[in-house]
Amino acid sequence: MAETYTSPQELSSRLGRAEAPTVIDVRGDDEYAAGHVRGALHIPLDELDEHLAEIPRDRPVVTYCNMRHRGDSRGERAAELLREQGYEATALDGGYPAWAAGGNPVEKAS
C-alpha cells in the first residue's frame, strides 16, 4: 500500500530540491491567510475537483489542513481524492499545526 502521510520533517527536507512536491493547503480562506506553508497552493477541499488541471502530475503532491481529526481530515480526504485521480499524493502528518510547531517556514497574508 502506498504511503499516506508525509512528516513535517520529510516535507521540509524535500522542499528545496528539484523534485520537490507540490504542496496544497485545502483549508478555508481565513485559515490560509492566518498562516500557511511557504509556497503552498491554496485550493479549498470543496474546490479541488475544479482545479485538478492546475496541479502538476509529474511530481508528488502533499496536501494539508489543520488535521484536528486524524483519519478523517480535509488533508487526508484531499490526498485520497488526488490518488483516485492518479496523483502520487500524501497528507502532511499533523497538518499545519505540526508544520508550524516544527519551526518550519510559514507565510501569512499581508
In a domain, 108, yes or no: no
Active site residues: 65
In a domain, 110, yes or no: no
User: In Å, how far from its chain's centre is CA 72?
Assistant: 15
Note the pTM of the prediction, 2 decimals.
Answer: 0.94
Alpha-carbon distance of 97 to 57, in angstroms, equals 27
CATH of the domain at 64: 3.40.250.10
Residue 42: exposure state from Cβ atoms within 10 A (0-12, 13-18, ≥19):
middle
Closest CA to 80 of 63, 57, 55: 63
In the prediction, which pLDDT does 110 show? 66
Q: Say how many C-beta atoms besides its own lie within 10 A of residue 39's C-beta.
A: 11
In the prediction, which pLDDT does 2 show? 54
Tens-place pLDDT, residues 29-81:
999 999 999 999 999 999 999 999 999 999 999 999 999 988 989 999 999 99
User: In Å, how far from its chain's centre is CA 106?
Assistant: 13
In a domain, 94, yes or no: yes
In the prediction, which pLDDT does 1 show? 41
